[in-house]
């Protein structure tokens, strides 16, 4: 796989923890300058500090991806600081609901759709013109295996991730001849704080989560980060509009 990242710039949203932090660290390890974006200041600063402690280049910028002004400022400050935007990993998201569709609330719907869908749309809205101006780039959005099929008792979350894949594929076709590639990663159950919050009250659910993956375990944030780097790399130069399952074989069943 060709990895020609040195000197390039990446923006990672939701980089204060979990998959976003792992991706930010992985980008930095390849020599990229990384803009660490998150609503959580402590988490975002922590990620940037980890990168710098390892000899990398990073800056934290606070951003609420549901607010157009925040996203616009994030991209403008990235250009002001580094002069370019080569890669974007639009990873910010919020966790699933746990109930049947008819038991969901409008507040849940608005919150989940606001971050998971509007946030991705806003980020691409302001990233794409920057990449057009410099002649190319690559974007990866975080979807989910819940966006590839049915997800009982998480219908709103599932709908939001189906929407992310739709945005990804549409943007990929629109910008394919402009040297901008747009793909998505679709993780299954990954060992994150979000996962631990969901299952901390019932360890049996954690055992079940491992069992539903044919490989017999849940995934790691580093494994998802590796998929993100691949989709951004020259090794994926002929890959766009793709929703890559990182799922231990779950979608093959």
Active site residue 157: yes
Q: What is the pLDDT at residue 203?
A: 67
Q: What is the pLDDT at residue 205?
A: 67
Write out the two tokens for 246: 């990182």
- pTM of this prediction? 0.95
Q: What is the pLDDT at residue 1?
A: 46
Q: What is the Cβ-side half-sphere exposure of residue 233, based on CA atoms within 13 angstroms?
A: 15
Instruction: Kindly give the residue spans of alpha helices, DSSP state H, lying in 30-67.
Output: 41-53
Write the pLDDT tens digit of every residue in 163-204. 999 999 999 999 999 999 999 999 999 998 877 776 665 667
Owner of token pair 């607010």: 67
Per the prediction, the chain carries an average pLDDT of: 94
Q: Order of strands, edge to edge, in the sheet holding 137-142?
A: 57-62, 33-38, 9-13, 87-90, 137-142, 180-187, 243-246
User: Which CATH architecture fits 9-189+221-245?
Assistant: 3-Layer(aba) Sandwich (3.40)
Instruction: Give how far the C-alpha of residue 24 lies from the chain's centroid of Cα atoms, to the nearest Å.
Output: 11
* Strand pairing report for 137-142 and 243-246: unpaired
Active-site option among 157, 199, 208, 230: 157
CA-based nearest residue to 13, from 37, 32, 34, 45: 37
Write the pLDDT tens digit of every residue in 56-107. 999 999 999 999 999 999 999 999 999 999 999 999 999 878 899 999 999 9
């Amino acid at each position: 796989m060709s990895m020609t990242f040195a000197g390039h710039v990446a923006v990672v949203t939701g980089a204060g923890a979990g998959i976003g932090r792992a991706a930010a660290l992985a980008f930095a390890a390849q020599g990229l300058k990384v803009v660490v974006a998150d609503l959580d200041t402590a988490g975002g600063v922590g990620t940037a500090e980890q990168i710098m402690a390892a000899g990398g280049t990073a800056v934290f910028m606070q951003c609420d991806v549901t607010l157009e002004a925040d996203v616009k400022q994030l991209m403008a400050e990235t250009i002001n600081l580094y002069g370019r935007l080569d890669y974007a990993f639009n990873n910010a998201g919020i966790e699933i609901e746990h109930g049947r569709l008819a038991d969901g609330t409008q507040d849940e719907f608005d919150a989940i759709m606001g971050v998971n869908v509007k946030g991705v749309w806003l980020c691409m809205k302001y990233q794409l013109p920057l990449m057009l101006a410099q002649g190319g780039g690559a974007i990866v959005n975080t979807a989910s295996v819940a966006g590839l099929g049915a997800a009982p008792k998480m219908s709103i979350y599932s709908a939001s991730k189906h929407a992310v894949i739709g945005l990804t594929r549409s943007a990929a076709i629109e910008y394919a001849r402009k040297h901008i590639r747009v793909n998505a990663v679709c993780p299954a159950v990954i060992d994150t704080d979000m996962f631990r919050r969901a299952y901390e009250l019932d360890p049996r659910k954690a055992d079940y989560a491992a069992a539903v993956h044919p490989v017999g375990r849940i995934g790691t944030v580093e494994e998802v980060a590796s998929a993100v780097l691949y989709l951004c790399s020259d090794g994926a130069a002929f890959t766009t509009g793709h929703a890559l399952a990182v799922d231990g074989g779950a979608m093959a069943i």
